Structure formats: C-alpha cells, structure tokens
Structure 1
Amino acid sequence: MKSIILFFLMMIFVGCAAFQPKSFSKNALDEKLVTPERDSITLREVLNKNTNKNKFIQVFASYCPVSQASFDDVVAFQKEHPEKEYIFLSVDHTYHDWKRGLEYIKPKGQFYYIPKKGNGDLGKFLKLKSIPRFLKIDKKGTIKVYKTSKVSDKLK
C-alpha cells in the first residue's frame, strides 16, 4: 500500500514539474529579429556572436510600466556582474515605438526588436504571456534560467 501511495505522489510531483528546456528550439533560434539599424538578424546569430560568455536576456516592451521599473534593477545587476553579456529583446508594438523607447532605457547592452512579438516561434517557445521576462544562458548556450519575472539571485 505504501508503495502505491509513494508512486502516486511521485507522479504528481513529476507531473507538476515546471517546463525547463535546456536549449532553444530550432524555430526559435531561426526567428528574425531587427537591430536598431534596422538590419535583420536571427536569435541564433545573436547567441553565436556571444559565444563563451554568460548571457542575461530580458524580454521587455518600452511602453510597459513594469518593464520600465525593472530597468533600475537591471542596471544594479549590471554593476555587480559586468562580465555578462546583456541582450534585450523587445516586443513593442512597432519598430518605431521601440526605437523611440530606446532613448529612455538605462541598461546598456545589445538591443533587438521581435517583429512577431509573442506570436512567433520565439514567443511560443518562451510561452511568453507577460513581461518583463528574464533568462540566463551559460557560456555553452545552455538555458540555466528559463523563466523569471524579476532580477533575482537566480540570474547570478
């Protein structure tokens, strides 16, 4: 009887485990992003250009008050961890809104616009329902933190 109860408890805990992928899907990596200069680049190219560096990624929108409030925490985190590469992915309504919003963003790093917002393959992979969203990618490209909504010790 104990083994049956233990089995069911184990199944409940395994079934409730959070989805935590270790790498991006091929389709998410191939999604087109736009640079501030309006050039096209894929997420794969962004990550490859930052090989052998730990990466901090924030998905945000310049119009979002919660995203705006998070930038002070990101700046403080950047001061504590200057060795990381900082990548910011925006889901603003339009390229022009995003470009205007960049003038007011305090953190420094690489900025890209996601034209498909949360509706493309990257948004689906991230199960993007709210922003801001933070990810931590190690030097080998393994996703260490898939989902957190604020800057925390998990991202160190």
Structure 2
Amino acid sequence: MKKMNFLLILFISFFSCNTKSPTQFSVAALNDIFITQEGDSITFEDILENHQGKTLLIDVWASWCRDCIEGMPKIKDLQKEYNDVSYIFLSLDKTQKAWKKGIKKHQVEGAHYFMQSGWEGAFGKFLDLDWIPRYMIVDAKGSIKLFEAVKADHIRIKENL
C-alpha cells in the first residue's frame, strides 16, 4: 500500500509540474545591464526598445561554445530567409575582447551585446540559463513567443518567425 501511495504521489507530482513559459520579461531581467560594442552600458529594456515593432530572434551564445558556433550557419540561413527580423546576440564570453574577436571571426551579423552579469545575473536567472546556445523569439508587440530552444533549427523558431 505504501508503495502504491508513493507511486501515486510521484505520478501526480510529475504531471502537475508547471512548465508554462513566461510571455513577458521580469523587471529584473529588463533592468539587467549589458555592454554595447562601443563599450556603453545599456539595459535589456533599452535593447528591446531599440528594436520596438520588430520580431526578434535572441541568440545567447559565446565564441568558445562549440554548439553555438555550429548553429551559426543555421542562424545565417534564417537571416537570409527572414530578413525583416532583428537578430540580437547576447554574449556570455569571458571577456569583451574575446567577444569582439568571436563576432569578427565568425562574421556574426546583427545587434551585439555583452552579458556582463553572466550566467548568474538577473537576465540569466530569468532564463534559468543552464545551456547555450539559447534561442528566443519575441514578437513585434514585445511578447515572448518562444522561451527556450537550444538548436538553431528547432521547428518552433520558424513557426514563430
């Protein structure tokens, strides 16, 4: 009987987990500070405002990340196919020098920002970031349509672009 109760509780717990993805960014994530390629500080909210009215593909990456680099050709294909989308690249490189070198080396086209707060900053915590690359889609009204994809060819990316 105890075993049956345990299995029932385990079953209910497993299937009642909240897996709903957020549709809006938290205040803390919006206030997190990033660095532009010119070396200026900018909040994530300001980054979004700079691209207001456009669909966004956000790519959290790093130049040292093999999976990120392997996904770049697929992102470049998306850029050709969906040229009306704004592509925002948020780097988790260890240094700004490595970040800028990676952009140049891999010829990454788009808007680039350095995540100075890193994995454990407000933005990383909002994403519950545990792996990169990480792709997100934000619609023209600012709603998160795709919260988490780890492959550049994830079917939901094209569905939401």
TM over 0.5: yes
- Aligned partner of residue 136 in structure 2, secondary structure: strand
Trace 1:1-40 onto structure 2 (pairs within 5 A): 12-15=14-17, 17-40=18-41
TM-superposed CA distance for 1:105, in Å, is 2.4
Q: Residue 72 of structure 1 contacts residue 106 of structure 1 at CA under 8 Å; is this kept in 2?
A: no
One-letter code aligned to 1:31:
D
Task: Write out per-residue CA displacement over residues 91-140 of structure 1, whole angstroms, 9 at most, x where no aligned residue.
Answer: 00111111111111233110000011111000000011110000000011
- Aligned partner of residue 111 in structure 1, secondary structure: strand
Trace 1:1-150 onto structure 2 (pairs within 5 A): 12-15=14-17, 17-150=18-151
Q: Residue 66 of structure 1 contacts residue 131 of structure 1 at CA under 8 Å; is this kept in 2?
A: yes
Distance in 2 separating the partners of 1:91 and 1:82: 25
One-letter code aligned to 1:83:
D
TM-superposed CA distance for 1:14, in Å, is 3.7
TM-superposed CA distance for 1:12, in Å, is 5.0
One-letter code aligned to 2:128:
K
Distance in 1 separating the partners of 2:69 and 2:36: 20
Percentage of identical aligned residues: 34
Q: Residue 74 of structure 1 contacts residue 107 of structure 1 at CA under 8 Å; is this kept in 2?
A: no
TM-superposed CA distance for 1:19, in Å, is 3.7
* CA pair 106-19 structure 1, distance change in 2 beyond 3 A: farther
Q: Residue 29 of structure 1 contacts residue 42 of structure 1 at CA under 8 Å; is this kept in 2?
A: yes
Distance in 1 separating the partners of 2:130 and 2:20: 15
* CA pair 26-106 structure 1, distance change in 2 beyond 3 A: same
Q: CA RMSD in A?
A: 1.6
TM-superposed CA distance for 1:54, in Å, is 0.4
Partner of 1:4: none
**TM, length-normalised to structure 1:** 0.89
**TM, length-normalised to structure 2:** 0.86
One-letter code aligned to 2:143:
T
Task: Write out per-residue CA displacement over residues 69-105 of structure 1, whole angstroms, 9 at most, x where no aligned residue.
Answer: 1100100111111110000000001111111111112
**Matched residue count:** 148
More off after superposition, 91-100 vs 20-29: 91-100
Distance in 2 separating the partners of 1:10 and 1:83: 44
**Could you list the runs of 5+ residues in structure 2 that have no partner in the other structure?**
1-10
More off after superposition, 120-129 vs 146-155: 146-155
**Could you list the runs of 5+ residues in structure 1 that have no partner in the other structure?**
1-8
